[in-house]
Chain A
């Protein structure tokens, strides 16, 4: 069996469990630890059954042995409130942190757009933005790599059942973080993000609309090709990422209408918004793993000072 990079997942909830199921299929990542805080958590029991080491004492419960266990990459699927502490602790043990919370203390990462930059920068913490960001920013970037985009706007519509209490308590964080990443990663000079929650039954599949306003008249052929190429890139890790309609050209407006269906590993298929987060997180880890295995990326050895 080819060599794999060992990883820990912090947070045994829906996202952490879905990530675990995806990671178990990975050819580059081997999940070895699941970290929780509640000994009765069903997510911890499931991880244990799947052969992972588990702790209910938070990151502290893993720290003593994580180096000896060879953990080089950690995923944080907990909450923004505890993320900074988790990240500091695992970085000190020489592991890279992939942040699936909205904490965003490290640079934003949308794999097909800027993962290479994150690798090149030697970041020890990368943030996966938001579900809406993962689903839409590749499309903004697909337009902005053809010609300059003065304004990028995304509308993410998600099923009520797929929006957890953390997002609901701080929905402003979603709109702010996503809008910021539409600018920083998507390449729009000004970004705007809107989220709509729909309670219909059966739950609707995540849908996203992306509007870009270009400075000059859109180069329709070049944008069509760029969008198709980008969709293919995202489909490598989210097969259910589909361009439903568009690009529609209307003056300087370029609009794309997307649908994101999940793989249905642990989360239901309609929750493409959650699936694209776990898939993007794993994709990021795999790219780092490839670099580590090839000796091109050395994990930082931050001494505890």
Chain B
């Protein structure tokens, strides 16, 4: 694989996807020190939001330690060069949240929908583009459909005004060839000026490999997370990706030793549990399940005495999509009843 001279924009997720792994309890001080470290390491884009995006604060997804406003204000104030992004899932957050984020200095808005439901993003993508923001259409769970269908949905987002489209492997399920096929077809079919991104979860240990494949196939933005802090087995560990890209002479603009230090000194110490491929996160990747279901399944399993792996496999079988966290307790109750436990 020859990626020499390719220019890649890296986008850190540990203060957004990492919120899942931290049950949305990262403190303002932690956010600020990590963001400052990332900024000094040369990270061009840092996402800061509740794990489930703007407005995600809820019983269903978890109440955060601080509001989106508080986090965004704090982080925007400490970075010098990095741009701050926010995630928005229509159906959870609204255009009002988007405006709030922009007012606080967020310059990239990523509007995320399930991979088949792009048309619910029209009002949010339209508004973000109209406000002159870097507007990203973020298609989730793209392992569930074929490349051609992804292109159709991506074109909708492009037509609403998105200047960048993401192919997201929310379950960490995609194999390298599947990433290649999806990204290559998107690159061929979207406007040449539309940027293309890839977001991985490391549930099958393919985060780094799949990201490289995505770059080779035409993606120019890559998501990852310092020390991997993210849902499931985490996102592509950025310090690892940077080291590999260094050796492959990819133009990424990050200081390797500085980002290694952020991972080791700032992010790893705040982890509640090691981010690793345990039995359950491996099940996510194997069964194609939304990565942020992990801790919900573990809690429901402990509460109702059923196996978290069984819960996750069943969620995959039922083809649940991102946002259906409420299914997990409901399903655990069904399973416990069926087994005569309650």
Contacts and interface: CB of A to CB of B under 8 A. Distances in A.
B314 to A, nearest CB: 13
A79 to B, nearest CB: 15
B319 A248 contact: no
B323 A196 contact: yes
B1 to A, nearest CB: 34
B265 interface: no
Contacts of A160: 116-117
Given A196-B321, A245-B334, A155 B120 contact: no
A244 to B, nearest CB: 6
A155 B58 CA distance: 10
B249 interface: no
A171 B91 contact: yes
Contacts of A255: 59, 329
Interface in B282-340: 318-324, 326-327, 329-330, 333-334
B143 interface: no
Q: Could you tell me the dominant secondary structure of chain A's interface residues?
A: strand
Contacts of B120: 168, 171, 197
Interface in B106-157: 114, 116-117, 119-120, 122-124
Contact of A157 (B58, B92, B123, B326): B326
Contact of B122 (A169, A197, A253): A169
Nearest to A246: B333
B95 interface: yes
B59 A213 contact: yes
Contacts of A245: 329-330, 333-334
B153 to A, nearest CB: 11
Contacts of B27: none
A160, A213, A253, most chain B CB atoms within 10 A? A160
A151 B60 CA distance: 12
Contacts of B326: 155, 157, 209, 257
B22 to A, nearest CB: 21
A176, A195, A196, A197, most chain B CB atoms within 10 A? A196
Interface string A160-180: 100001001111101110000
B123 A197 contact: no
Contact of B318 (A174, A200, A253, A257): A200
B81 interface: no
B232 interface: no
A175 B59 CA distance: 16
Given A196-B91, A196-B324, A248-B329, A171 B123 contact: yes
A194 interface: yes
B94 interface: yes
Given A160-B116, A194-B58, 8 more contacts: A153-B60, A165-B119, A175-B92, A175-B94, A196-B323, A196-B324, A199-B321, A253-B59
Of all A-B residue pairs in the complex, the 4 with the closest CB atoms, nearest first, are A209-B326, A211-B59, A200-B319, A196-B323
Interface of A: 151, 153, 155, 157, 160, 165, 168-172, 174-176, 192, 194-200, 204, 207, 209, 211, 213, 244-246, 248, 253, 255, 257
Interface of B: 58-60, 90-92, 94-96, 114, 116-117, 119-120, 122-124, 318-324, 326-327, 329-330, 333-334
29 contacts: A157-B324, A157-B326, A168-B117, A168-B122, A169-B122, A170-B123, A171-B90, A171-B120, A172-B123, A172-B124, A174-B91, A175-B92, A175-B94, A194-B92, A194-B323, A196-B91, A197-B114, A197-B321, A199-B321, A200-B318, A209-B330, A211-B59, A211-B60, A245-B329, A245-B330, A248-B333, A255-B329, A257-B329, A257-B333
